[in-house]
Amino acid sequence: MAELLAYLARLLVDAPEAVRVEEEERPDGLVLYLHVAPEDVGKVIGRQGRIVRALRTIVRAAATHEGRRVLVEVVD
């Protein structure tokens, strides 16, 4: 899941080398923290949160094949 999120985020930003994903395992599921350059946060979030919502949907869909629950958080 982390690789998928990082791949998609790198396609969206101007500084793909700054993209990294940290994983945190919690009892209620996996949390993925997406780190991007401060100037790219808006590009990852999108207008009214549409881009980040789409990223979350794609990652959740991939996670359901593994029977997992995944949350995505954007961090600059």
* pTM of the complete model: 0.91
Percent of the chain whose predicted confidence (pLDDT) is above 70? 100
Round the average pLDDT of the chain to a whole number and report it: 95
DSSP string, 8-58: HHHHH-S-GGG-EEEEEEETTEEEEEEE--GGGHHHHH-GGGHHHHHHHHH
The hierarchical CATH code for the domain 2-75 is 3.30.300.20
pLDDT at 66: 87
Q: What is the pLDDT of residues 5-22, one digit of tens each?
A: 999 999 999 999 999 999
